[in-house]
């Protein structure tokens, strides 16, 4: 099977996220890393791209990459956007409009209006616009979704999600440029911690339950008082299927490392999963004993079986979760090329609509936090 061609914008040398994307995209042999504009400094991006084997398809900037790829018969099939947040909209828009499929890092845009425009462009062009909520690629997250969908815990009553770490807790580090920009509205937008981490937890709540957030109430605070934007938030929310939600996100929780986890409680059982221990899913049926479901066990759901990559008892980490997103996208692109239906177990990659809903929630959290926790509509206008 001929490999699809893949290109990347951002994610250059020393990047936190770039290696995870390159590992994920290349793991299954479905994509060939063919082109990139990897750094905002043209000479650095070209040099690094050439060292990675891109040759004359190592570009100095994303505009150069767009122009260069449009001239080629073997242009890339998928472009990953892993640049600073404020550039996501312009790059994603330009590539979608010129016939490329796009995987954009979160947040997809900086405003709700931009998000709605991206959704409309994707619909109009028919090109895929995916958003990298990569933690939904974990095998047992997919299995949790399947268990809830088939009714294993009955009607969902309550979702408790969190994403809390302590890596920005040192007040003496507040002026560190690598930290400071995250709490600067000019660079980060209307929200810091919720827009950075909270939306992962909120999206996962929707992903596993199959319900969308309709309204929310937020208590936001800057525990380090020189910060303009929040470093801690508690969000209550309601979902369109009747579930009640609680979400905590923080960057000042000393002792917490990554801190993404989710619990779902239904009428007949409960489920619990943590990203730092991704190989176990805890299942408590009503009136029975606690069960520990291990990734890689036999006879799990098709969604879990498809995304389990190494034998039971061995750890699977973030790059392998990203690889599952890329495998989903490869299946989607090939299905479109061949005019066939997708495998339902692969049709789970997060879409532009998910990125738009997240941005609407970001603005609702910021506004509610300023209004003493007022309940606000969390839906983007086009979905109300």
The pLDDT tens digits for 234-276 are 999 999 999 999 999 999 999 999 999 999 999 999 999 999 9
pLDDT in tens, 14-60: 998 999 999 999 999 999 999 999 999 999 999 999 999 999 999 99
Nearest CA-CA partner of 303 in 285, 281, 318: 281
pLDDT higher than 90, residue 175: no
pTM, 2 dp: 0.95
* Of residues 51 and 185, more confidently modeled: 51
Q: Which tops the pLDDT comparison, 184 or 260? A: 260
CA distance 114 to 356: 8
Judged against a pLDDT cut of 90, whether residue 349 lies above it is answered with yes
Look over the chain and give the mean of its residue pLDDT values, rounded to a whole number. 96
DSSP for 198-228, written as a single string: IHHHHHHHHHHH---EEEEEEEEE-SSTT-S
- pLDDT exceeding 70 applies to what percent of the chain? 100
Adjacent-strand bridge partners of 213? 239
Question: So what's the pLDDT on residue 181?
Answer: 84
Work out the average pLDDT over 366-372: 98
- The dihedral formed by the CA atoms of 250, 355, 75 and 65, expressed in degrees to the nearest 10: -60
pLDDT score for 37? 98
Q: b/e map of 120-143 (b: 16 or more CB within 10 Å)?
A: ebbeeeebbbbbbbbbbbbbbbbb
Instruction: Report how far residue 258's alpha carbon sits from residue 223's, in angstroms, rounded to the nearest whole number.
Output: 19
The predicted pLDDT at position 149 comes to 98
Q: How many residues does the chain have?
A: 384
Residue 1 has pLDDT above 80, yes or no: no
pLDDT by residue (tens digit) across 187-241? Answer: 889 999 999 999 999 999 999 999 999 999 999 999 999 999 999 999 999 999 9
Contacts of 187 (CB under 8 A, 6+ apart): 84, 86, 181
| Cβ neighbour number for residue 291 with a 10 Å cutoff | 11
Q: Where are the beta strands (DSSP E) in the chain?
A: 4-10, 31-37, 78-82, 101-104, 129-131, 156-164, 213-221, 232-239, 244-250, 260-266, 269-274, 277-285, 291-294, 376-377
Please, what are the domains in the chain?
4-132 (3.40.50.720), 155-266+354-377 (3.30.360.10)
Name every residue whose Cβ is closer than 8 Å to that of residue 214 and which is 6 or more positions away in sequence. Answer: 237, 238, 239, 240, 377, 378, 379
In this prediction, residue 186 carries a pLDDT of 85
Residue 172: φ, ψ to 5°: -70, -10
What pLDDT sits at residue 177? 80
- Buried-exposed string 172-194: b where 16+ CB fall within 10 A, e elsewhere: eeeeeeebbebbeeeebbbbbbb
Rounded Cα distance between 189 and 195, Å, is 9
What band does 292 get if pLDDT is binned at 50, 70 and 90? very high
Residue 130 sits at φ, ψ, to 5 deg, of -105, 155
How does pLDDT run across 96-136, given as a tens digit for each residue? 999 999 999 999 999 999 999 999 999 999 999 999 999 99
For 267, the 3-state DSSP assignment is coil
């Amino acid at each position: 099977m001929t490999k699809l061609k893949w290109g990347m914008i951002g994610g250059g040398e020393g990047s936190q996220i770039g290696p995870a994307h390159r590992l994920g995209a290349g793991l299954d042999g479905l994509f060939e890393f063919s082109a990139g504009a990897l750094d905002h400094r043209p000479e650095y991006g070209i040099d690094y791209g050439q060292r990675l084997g891109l040759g004359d398809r190592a570009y100095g900037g994303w505009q150069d990459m767009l122009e260069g790829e449009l001239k080629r018969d073997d242009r890339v099939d998928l472009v990953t956007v892993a640049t600073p947040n404020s550039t996501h909209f312009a790059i994603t828009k330009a590539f979608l409009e010129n016939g490329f499929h796009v995987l954009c890092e979160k947040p997809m845009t900086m405003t709700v209006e931009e998000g709605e425009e991206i959704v409309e462009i994707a619909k109009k062009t028919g090109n895929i616009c995916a958003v990298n909520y990569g933690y939904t690629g974990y095998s047992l997250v997919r299995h949790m979704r399947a268990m809830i969908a088939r009714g294993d815990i009955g009607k969902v009553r309550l979702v408790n999600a969190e994403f809390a770490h302590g890596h920005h807790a040192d007040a003496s580090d507040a002026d560190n440029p690598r930290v400071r920009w995250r709490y600067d509205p000019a660079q980060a937008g209307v929200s810091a911690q919720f827009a950075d981490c909270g939306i992962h937890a909120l999206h996962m709540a929707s992903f596993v339950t199959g319900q969308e957030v309709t309204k929310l109430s937020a208590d936001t605070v800057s525990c380090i008082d020189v910060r303009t934007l929040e470093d801690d938030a508690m969000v209550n929310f309601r979902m369109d299927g009747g579930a009640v939600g609680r979400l905590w996100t923080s960057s000042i929780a000393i002792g917490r490392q990554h801190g993404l986890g989710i619990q779902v409680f239904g009428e007949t059982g409960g489920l619990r999963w943590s990203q730092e221990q991704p190989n176990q899913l805890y299942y408590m049926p009503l009136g029975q004993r606690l069960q520990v479901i291990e990734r890689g066990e036999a006879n799990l759901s098709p969604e879990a079986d498809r995304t389990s990559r190494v034998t039971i008892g061995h750890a699977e980490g973030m790059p392998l979760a990203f690889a599952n997103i890329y495998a989903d996208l490869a299946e989607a692109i090939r299905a479109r090329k061949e005019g066939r239906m997708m495998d339902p177990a692969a049709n789970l990659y997060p879409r532009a609509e998910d990125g738009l809903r997240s941005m609407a929630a970001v603005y609702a959290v910021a506004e509610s936090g300023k209004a003493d926790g007022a309940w606000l509509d969390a839906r983007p206008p086009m979905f109300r």
